[in-house]
Amino acid sequence: AQKVTQAQTEISVVEKEDVTLDCVYETRDTTYYLFWYKQPPSGELVFLIRRNSFDEQNEISGRYSWNFQKSTSSFNFTITASQVVDSAVYFCALSEALLDSSYKLIFGSGTRLLVRP
């Protein structure tokens, strides 16, 4: 069965520290996609990144970077020089294909990140 595990329930860091959020997934599909979303206190899920199973290149976007390792079924997310505004719940998600070529998202339980000034 498709599954996403985010073992870290809550992480607390001091501003400017680097922090890595772990994500491990299970899938029977050979082609799949992985996502990270951010959920601030307002509740809206904000899309951060999408990565397909054929592309294991790491990606960097400003202070954010993602490390995809197919061999360990992991898709970890690192925030460099964290800021208070990064405080939120972060979700990792895995695509599961639907019949008509669309897909639904299978989410992990999320990691709450608290960045203290």
Binding site for other proteins (CB under 8 A): 4, 31, 33, 35, 37, 42-47, 50, 52, 91, 93, 95, 98-110
Q: Which is nearer to other proteins, 13 or 97 (CB)?
A: 97
Q: Which is nearer to other proteins, 37 or 77 (CB)?
A: 37
**Residue corresponding to tokens 């680097």:** 18
Q: Supply the minimum distance, in Å, between the C-beta of residue 7 and other proteins.
A: 13
Q: Which is nearer to other proteins, 3 or 16 (CB)?
A: 3
Q: Supply the minimum distance, in Å, between the C-beta of residue 81 and other proteins.
A: 26
Q: Are 35 and 47 in contact, with CB atoms under 8 Å apart?
A: yes
Q: Are 38 and 77 in contact, with CB atoms under 8 Å apart?
A: no
DSSP string covering 11-78, please?
EEEETT--EEE--EEE-S-SS-EEEEEEE-TT---EEEEEEETT----EEETTEEEEEEGGGTEEEEE
Q: Which is nearer to other proteins, 64 or 80 (CB)?
A: 64
Q: Supply the minimum distance, in Å, between the C-beta of residue 73 and other proteins.
A: 17
Q: Are 104 and 98 in contact, with CB atoms under 8 Å apart?
A: yes
Q: Supply the minimum distance, in Å, between the C-beta of residue 87 and other proteins.
A: 17
